Structure formats: C-alpha cells, structure tokens
C-alpha cells in the first residue's frame, strides 16, 4: 500500500492533541532540536497540533556543533521559543570525574553520555516550564536499536515512532519543512560517521525490509535481524521481578 503522507500527518497531529488533552492540557511541548530531520519534523508536527506558543525548542551543543545552523534554521522557520544550553562543560567535568574513578572509559560511553545529558536537560527545562518532553525516534531507528537508552530513546510521548525514515521525509514535505533539513544526511553528531556508515546498510534498504519483508542481500538481512533482536530490550518496559510469595 502506498504511503499517504497527508493522511499520516493529520492523524499524527490529532494524536498529539488528544495526548495533551489527557496528559497535560495546559502544558508545553519540550523538544531537543538537533538540526536533523526527525527533531525538525516532530517539532513541525507539534506546532501544527498545539500552536507555536506551546512548543519550546532546546538546542544543546556539546561545546561546539558543526551543524548548529541547521537547528537555528528550524526554530526560525517555525517561529518557536527556543533556548541554547551548552552541555560541553558538564560533559567534560563528568567525564573527568568518571575517568578519575574508574580509569579508562570506553568509546561507546563517550558517545552515549551526551544524549543522556541532553535528555536530563530537557526534563529539567520541562519541569521548570510546565512541559512534556517529546521523543523523536522513528521506526527505522527503533527497529535496529539506533538510539541511546535513557538518552534520545526517552521521553513522555513519541509521535513518529510508527514511521520509517522515508515516511518521515514525506511528512516533512507535507508540513513544509525546509528541504535542506528533510534531506540532511542522518548522523549522530558524536562519532564523526553517518548513521548508514555505522549501521552498514542504507535506510532505504532497511525501510523496504520493514514494510515489505523484501531484501536482496542475505548478509544485510542477517545483520538487520541480529540488531533487531539484540536491541528489543530498548523498546520494553524495564524488566522487573514480581514476587508472588
């Protein structure tokens, strides 16, 4: 079935409105703005659903950010209230304390700490400004676990988690998001690599496999299936022991 971007966009906007009626009718939406397509399109959906006066964008460079101009372009385009919180000094101080305590720190720890600090920042702002924090992960990323648990994978509500990367782009065009943001090469902004470099396959291949089950390369299928199974825990509630004694 061909994806109907207009129908999906309107349904998502209505879902956001309904969610806020139940979970914070007088609350603002708090969203981290990275300059990538997911945060840009989620922010545009929030503006359509709630009005720009109830959407607060937060830019969070880690000392510096090469594409911070893309984040600024988005908030200027939407006309939303926004703040910049530089997490660089916090990150450096915390990493120093951790190294002083345990010695060597893994590269993955270095890469995943900034998203977790950013989510802490969003919640601090949310609690101070009567807000609910938006999750901006999409289905393609969630499928292979391409997110940081308790970092960008966290949030109070998740508007775009049912949509693949290609579908999100189509919705962005429906919303009038600047094309440069829609087509921006996805990157975590941390490792120096694109998402597709790190994953070992393209989102086009992944999206097709998710929606149709079709894939040409058996090795790529095996890698996607392995990542999917290995990272399912990120989508579950925390496992907990239930004592029935």
Per-residue pLDDT of the chain (245 residues; tens, 9 = 90+): 789 999 999 999 999 999 999 999 999 999 999 999 999 999 999 999 999 999 999 999 999 888 899 999 999 999 999 999 999 999 999 999 999 999 999 999 999 999 999 999 999 999 999 999 999 999 999 999 999 999 999 999 999 999 999 999 999 999 999 999 999 877 666 666 788 888 889 999 999 999 999 999 999 999 999 999 999 998 888 888 889 98
Domains, the chain, with CATH or none: 5-235 (3.40.50.620)
Number of residues that this document lists for the chain: 245
Q: pTM (2 decimals)?
A: 0.93
User: At how many degrees (to 10) do helices 203-212 and 165-175 cross?
Assistant: 100
């Amino acid at each position: 079935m061909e994806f109907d971007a207009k129908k999906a966009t309107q349904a998502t906007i209505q879902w956001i409105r309904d969610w806020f009626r139940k979970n914070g009718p007088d609350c603002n939406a708090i969203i981290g703005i990275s300059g990538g397509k997911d945060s840009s399109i989620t922010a545009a959906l929030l503006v359509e659903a709630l009005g720009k006066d109830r959407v607060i964008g937060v830019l969070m460079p880690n000392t510096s950010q090469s594409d911070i101009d893309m984040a600024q372009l988005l908030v200027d385009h939407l006309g939303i209230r926004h703040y910049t919180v530089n997490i660089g000094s916090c990150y450096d101080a915390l990493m120093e304390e951790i190294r002083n305590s345990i010695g060597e720190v893994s590269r993955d720890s270095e890469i995943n700490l900034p998203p977790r600090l950013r989510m802490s920042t969003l919640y601090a702002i949310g609690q101070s400004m009567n807000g609910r924090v938006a999750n901006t992960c999409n289905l393609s990323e969630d499928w292979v676990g391409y997110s940081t648990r308790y970092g960008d994978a966290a949030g109070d509500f998740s508007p775009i988690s049912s949509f693949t990367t290609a579908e999100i782009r189509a919705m962005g065009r429906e919303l009038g998001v600047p094309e440069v943001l829609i087509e921006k090469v996805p990157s975590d902004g941390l490792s120096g690599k694109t998402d597709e470099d790190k994953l070992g396959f393209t989102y086009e291949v992944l999206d097709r496999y998710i929606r149709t089950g079709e894939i040409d390369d058996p090795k790529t299928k095996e890698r996607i299936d392995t990542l999917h199974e290995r990272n399912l825990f990120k989508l579950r509630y925390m496992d907990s022991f239930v004592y029935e004694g």
